[in-house]
Amino acid sequence: MVKLAIIEDDIIIKESLESFLGSNEKIDLRFISGSVEDFLTTLDVSTENEIDCILLDIGLPGMSGLEGIKHIKAKLPNVNIIMLTTYEEDDKIFKALCAGAVSYISKRTPLSVIEEAVFTIYKGGSFMSPSIARKVVEYFKPKKTINTSLSDRQLQIVQGIVDGLSYKMIAEKYFISIDTVRDHVKRIYRLLEINSKSELIRKSLDGDLK
């Protein structure tokens, strides 16, 4: 039997999960909390604190689900944390997984599939919503190599832009025409696969140019 806890502040979602998952005779619904703080407090005073899996929301009042992972794992090092959330941004997905979560599921996922995920993870498997799994695959896919080598003149023009010089001022500084400056800038944009001055400045400040 899967000993399950739910940490979710949305009343409708919490009640739906409780009703659906709680009706399964193979699931022992141990805890239902609206915040990480409440869960940890309840855990401290409970004599039945053995838990196999936790369905954990990210957008919680007080401590977020992301912040809560380390506190939960400190008390329950072997628990399987399943992030159940509306957030599908890359940074949140990988922060959760790096912090110790074993799964990341969209709240748009049907209850029957969430139930399936709980059992799959309990048995040692893994589970991701398709849209999130795609993001994980894309993240680890080999990145296309881009030739970012700029000529000395192009680097001079980039530095002029970073320094806030106009095309006219750059042209006068290096004794070239404004059209030549514009031509170089177009080539730089194509080479770096960017479309704006702000992207160019950011790449320069980040040390991505050579």
Residue 173's CATH number: 1.10.10.10
- Higher-confidence position of 57 and 204: 57
Q: Could you tell me which of 204, 206, 210 has the C-alpha nearest to residue 161?
A: 204
Per-residue DSSP letter, 144: P
Claim to verify: residue 56 and residue 129 sit in the same structural domain: yes
DSSP letter assigned to residue 157: H
Rounded to whole angstroms, how far apart are CA atoms 56 and 116? 16
Q: State pLDDT tens for residues 94-107.
A: 888 888 999 989 88
Confirm whether 102 is domain-assigned: yes
176 in the same domain as 156: yes
Domain contains 146:
no
Q: Which residues of 113-128 are buried (b: 16+ CB within 10 A; e: fewer)?
A: ebbebbeebbeeeebb
Does residue 185 lie within any of the structural domains?
Answer: yes
CA distance 104 to 169: 52
Q: Please tell me whether residues 33 and 125 are part of one structural domain.
A: yes
Report the run of H or E that residue 194 belongs to, with start and end. none
**Domain range spanning residue 199?**
152-205
Q: Which residues contact 188 (CB under 8 A, 6 or more apart)?
A: 150, 154, 157, 158, 200
Let me know whether 157 and 181 are in one domain.
yes
Mean predicted confidence (pLDDT) in 67-93: 89
For residues 94 and 82, what is the distance between their CA atoms, to the nearest angstrom?
13
CB 43 within 8 A of CB 31: yes
Q: Report how many domains make up the chain.
A: 2
Whether 37 is in a domain gets the answer yes
Q: 117 and 196: one domain? A: no
Kindly state whether residue 113 falls inside one of the protein's structural domains: yes
DSSP H or E segment with residue 206: none
Three-state DSSP at 52 gives: coil
Span 106-111, average pLDDT: 90
Average pLDDT over residues 69-85: 93
Q: Are residues 129 and 108 in the same domain?
A: yes
pLDDT in tens, 139-177: 766 655 555 688 889 999 999 999 999 999 999 999 999
Domain co-membership, 121 together with 186 = no
Q: How many CB atoms lie within 10 A of CB 53?
A: 23
Would you state the pLDDT for residue 47?
63
The percentage of residues in the chain with a pLDDT greater than 90, rounded to a whole number, is 60
The verdict on 58 and 129 lying in the same domain is yes
What value does the mean pLDDT take over residues 181-205? Answer: 89
Domain final position from 85, 115, 140: 140
70-96: b (≥16 Cβ within 10 Å) or e: eebeeebeebbbbbbbebbeeebbebb
